[in-house]
């Protein structure tokens, strides 16, 4: 549980959660974690528990909201969905991320 790793992971994990909620609508925590695992084709192997601090961070910023509901199997669970603010932030965050990726790619490309 290195602290350094989680710093980098913070930003990426938060964005993954946001995108997941954007495409899937309202999900409970477990579903979000499973979905991330699937979408990343299981390259993201994470302790599912780490999803909750990420969800909390997004909640604090009011980018997502939460309410208790009932799952398909009849179990009581907390469901998260995007807020209007969150939708706006996705576009900004995506842009930021793409800019970083492009810059890094330039550096990491073999020099000619």
Partner 1 sequence: MDWIRILLSRCAAFIHPQKLDADLDEELLAHIELATEENRMRGMPEEEARTAALRSFGGVTQTRERYRAERGLSFLESLVGDLRYAARQLRKHPGFTVTALLTLGLGIGANAAIFTLIHATLLQDLPVPHPEELMRAGDDHRGGISWFSTQMYDQLRKNTPEFQELAAMQASSPDNSWLTLHRQGAAELPHGEVSEWVSGNYFAMMGITPAAGRLLQPADDIAGAPMVAVMSDAMWQREYARDPTIVGSAFVINTHPVTIVGIAPKQFYGDRITPYPTDLFVPLATEPLLGESDYTHHPTMQWLYILGRVKPGVALVPLQAKMRAELVPLLHQLPYYSDAPGREERIQRIRLSLTPGHSGIAVMARDMAAGLHLLMWISGFVLLIACANIANLVLARGLARDGEISVRVALGAARTRIVRQMLTESVLLSCMGGVVGVAIAYLVSAMMLRLAFPHAEFSPIRATPSPQVLGFAFGVSLLTGLLFGMAPAWATSHAQPAHALRRSNRTSSGHASLLQRSLVVLQTGLSVILLIGAGLLARSLINLQHQNFGFEVEHRVVVRLNAQNAGYTTEQLQPLYDRMRARMLSLPGVTKAGMALYAPLDGDDWGSDVVVEGQPQPGPNENVRSSWDRVSPELFDAIGQHLVRGRNILATDTAHSPGVAVVNRAFVKRFFPRGEDPIGQRFGMGARKSAADWQIVGVVENAKYQYPNEEQQPMFFLPLLQRAKSDDESMEVSTFYIGSIILVTAGPTPGLEHQVRQALGEINPNLNVNNYETLEAQISDRLNQEKLVARLTLLFGLLALALASVGLYGLTAYTVAQRGSEIGIRMALGAERGDIVRMVLQGAMLQAGLGLLIGVPVALLCGRYMQSQLFEVTRGDPEVLTAAIAALALAACAAAILPAKRAATIDAAKALRSE
Residues lying near partner 1 in the complex (CB under 8 A)? 1, 28-31, 33-34, 46-50, 52-53, 56-57, 59-62, 71, 73, 75-78
Residue whose CB is less far from partner 1, 5 or 106: 5
- Residue 106 CB, shortest distance to partner 1, in Å, is 29
Region label for 64, one of left (φ > 0), alpha (ψ between -120 and 50) or beta (otherwise):
beta
**Helices 51-60 and 3-24: angle between axes, nearest 10 degrees:** 70
- Residue 49 CB, shortest distance to partner 1, in Å, is 3
- Tell me the three state secondary structure of residue 74: coil
Residue whose CB is less far from partner 1, 61 or 99: 61
Q: Which of 26, 15, 10, 24 is nearest to 90 (CA)?
A: 15
- Residue 8 CB, shortest distance to partner 1, in Å, is 16
């Amino acid at each position: 549980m290195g602290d350094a790793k989680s710093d980098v992971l913070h930003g990426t994990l938060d964005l993954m959660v946001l995108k997941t909620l954007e495409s899937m609508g309202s999900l409970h925590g477990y579903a979000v974690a499973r979905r991330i695992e699937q979408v990343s084709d299981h390259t993201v192997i994470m302790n599912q528990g780490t999803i909750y601090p990420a969800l909390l961070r997004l909640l604090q910023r009011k980018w997502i909201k939460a309410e208790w509901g009932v799952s398909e199997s009849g179990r009581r669970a907390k469901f998260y969905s995007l807020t209007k603010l969150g939708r706006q932030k996705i576009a900004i965050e995506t842009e930021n991320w793409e800019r970083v990726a492009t810059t890094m790619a330039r550096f990491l490309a073999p020099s000619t």
